[in-house]
Amino acid sequence: RKEVEQDPGPFNVPEGATVAFNCTYSNSASQSFFWYRQDCRKEPKLLMSVYSSGNEDGRFTAQLNRASQYISLLIRDSKLSDSATYLCVVNVAGGFKTIFGAGTRLFVKA
């Protein structure tokens, strides 16, 4: 079983749609969580950190459920420019490991 699992997609949605991604992690010692986006052949860019209380940044909302060991990302009012691969990232305490999920591809179409 992978330490961080994401639905690879692709998710094909029209502009204006709401789309949600989930990510599960297996290590209960996981300490901090992030969402990154990666455009084709580019480096990952930090989208947002994920806090236990949940956090929102404009059209993006991230949630963490420690009991069920998953994090989620909600994108509202999708734009064409949101098309990218979204990476779930987990930092594990103790072992000092950063683990990237394989990513979920999103295509937003006009």
Partner 1 sequence: EAGVTQSPTHLIKTRGQQATLRCSPISGHTSVYWYQQALGLGLQFLLWYDEGEERNRGNFPPRFSGRQFPNYSSELNVNALELEDSALYLCASSLHRVMSYEQYFGPGTRLTVT
Nearest distance from C-beta of residue 71 to partner 1, angstroms: 15
Q: Which residue number, 40 or 110, has a Cβ lying nearer to partner 1?
A: 40
- The per-residue DSSP string of 10-50 comes to -EEEETT--EEEEEEE--TTEEEEEEEEE-TTS--EEEEEE
Residue 34 CB, nearest approach to partner 1 (Å) = 6
- In the complex, the residues that contact partner 1 under the rule CB under 8 A are 31-32, 34, 41-46, 49, 87, 89, 91-93, 95-103
Looking at the Cβ atoms of 22 and 32, the one nearer to partner 1 is 32
Place of tokens 């072992």: 95
Distance CA 103, CA 21 (A): 10
What minimum distance in Å lies between the beta carbon of 9 and partner 1? 13
